[in-house]
A and B are shown apart, each in its own frame.
Chain A
Amino acid sequence: MSAKKININLKIWRQVNKEAPGSMVDYRLEGVSTDSSFLEMIDQLNEQLIAKNDEPVAFDHDCREGICGMCSMMINGNAHGPEKATTTCQLHMRKFKDEDTIVVEPWRAKAFPVLKDLMVDRTAFDKIQSAGGFVSINTGNAQDANAILIGQETAELAMDAAQCIGCGACVASCKNASAMLFVGAKISQFALLPQGKVEAKDRAIKMVSKMDELGFGNCTNEAECEASCPKEISISNIARMNREYLKSAVTGRNH
């Protein structure tokens, strides 16, 4: 498919800082290559803004390879845009038509305050992770590679959960701004493996308590998170978290 140039109309959320009230601002961008990524399109807009001495649109980005979890944009009402299993940086302008109007907003959640324009503060995820998303038992020296045998299926399930890049699309797409897919994935990746099982009970209680404390909503099992997740994390991880939590609340000894 050869590259085309399209003209688009953008409606972008502009907000000076955390305290200032923001608003949607209209922009016209001409000659956008259909081969450019969504972020490259925003770069092009920013060049245009800078040339006019305007403030460029602030947005989070890092690897632009779909793995760092930094890019976070609500595009036309969908987290990371309309395409399945795709981060914003991997979304291409060929998915849009000439003269399309594209609405771009930051993630919206009480726990993710907007810092500037399209950038939100996702420290809440780090706080949940540091509440228990690690293995702290002393495992000694590195063991022989095959000393602890793990079934292939279990290893795959743990790996599927560990694919989470912490981008926050689950929270953004959930009508309740719930972080349960993220926390479910983080709890699952450890709970499935022998090294993580030791602290599984404590971990479930601590991470869920932190999640609740930070003001995320409650899951209503709509699965919009799974549908929006660029890594296609399954809501079966939420069910696993629910089980782990129930088990810990009933039988945990340390809390």
Chain B
Amino acid sequence: MSRFYHYLNSSIMKKQIMGVTGLLLCGFLVSHLIGNCLIYFGDRAFNTYAHTLVTNPLIYVAEAILLGIFLTHIFMAMKLTLENKAARPVAYAVKKPTGRGSTIASSTMPYTGLLILVFLIFHILHFKFGPVYKITYDGVEMRDLYRLLIEYFHQPLAVVWYVFCMLALGLHVSHGFWSAFQSIGFNHPKYNACLKNLSKVYALLITIGFSALPIYCYLQGGR
């Protein structure tokens, strides 16, 4: 057991846990985006989808797993960041990036991560635990999430905050996606360029995909 803990607590395993949980979260983002895109098909499609999701008893298992992944990713990030700060107790008077290594995305990971965490807390409070409107389709009463979204995103500031956070998320995953593979040990000259490009495409897809949702809701005019 102590040996198992020793491995888990090694610098390399901690990075690998970061990478694997990060990739799992990347997978969640895709499924979340696809589900949310049902909003373009009107209130009925979107509300029925949400209703089907939350009435499935497995949702609690899925939510628990998702929460576990999030908490592991966040806990590891904090632990690693604190350790990294401690590894250089005296800062340089002058320190410049070489211009051949770090990027804006890579050097801001803790900050974009923190912003996403703040976003996430408000996101869940606003929608999951927000006002409950009811609507009935074919005799089945369910939550009218569609109305909540349209109302909430009628405020321009809410749209701006959401899009701003999605830009941070895009920046975060543009480094994180590729970085996860490197941490696990997947690095091959044949696939490196492809993987780095895939990372950028994925980041663009997530940023544009998620940003389009509140903009679409805003354009509905708060009906």
A interface residue numbers (CB < 8 A to B) = 11, 13, 24, 74, 76-78, 84, 103, 105, 108-111, 173, 175-178, 180, 208-209, 211-212, 215-228, 235-236, 238-246, 249, 255
Residues of the A chain whose Cβ atoms lie less than 8 Å from the Cβ of B15: 218-219, 242
Q: How far is the CB of B56 from chain A (nearest CB, A)?
A: 35
- Inter-subunit contact A228/B185 (CB<8 Å): no
Ranked nearest first, the 9 interchain pairs of A and B with the lowest CB-CB distance are A243-B185, A239-B187, A217-B87, A77-B96, A227-B100, A176-B84, A227-B101, A224-B101, A177-B87
Q: Is B95 close to A, CB under 8 A?
A: yes
- B contact residues, total (Cβ < 8 Å): 45
With beta carbons under 8 angstroms apart, the residue of B10, B88, B99 that contacts A245 is: B10
Q: Would A211 and B98 be within 8 Å (CB), given that A216-B87, A239-B185, A243-B185 are in contact?
A: no
B interface residue numbers (CB < 8 A to A) = 3, 6-7, 10-16, 80, 83-84, 86-103, 106-107, 109, 175, 178-179, 182-189
- Inter-subunit contact B183/A242 (CB<8 Å): yes
Across the interface, name the chain A residue whose C-beta is closest to B4: A249
- Inter-subunit contact A78/B88 (CB<8 Å): no
The number of A-B residue pairs with CB atoms under 8 Å apart is 146
Residues of the B chain whose Cβ atoms lie less than 8 Å from the Cβ of A218: 11, 14-15, 80, 83-84, 87
The interface centre, meaning the residue of A108, A208, A220, A249 with most chain B CB atoms within 10 A of its CB, is A220
Across the interface, name the chain A residue whose C-beta is closest to B189: A236
Q: Would A223 and B96 be within 8 Å (CB), given that A218-B11, A236-B187 are in contact?
A: no
User: In the complex, A222→B109 CA distance in Å?
Assistant: 10
User: In the complex, A84→B98 CA distance in Å?
Assistant: 9
A-B CB contact pairs (8 Å), 25 listed: A74-B95, A76-B94, A77-B96, A108-B88, A108-B91, A110-B86, A175-B88, A176-B87, A177-B84, A177-B88, A209-B6, A217-B83, A217-B88, A218-B15, A218-B84, A219-B11, A219-B15, A220-B109, A221-B183, A223-B100, A224-B98, A224-B101, A228-B101, A242-B185, A246-B16
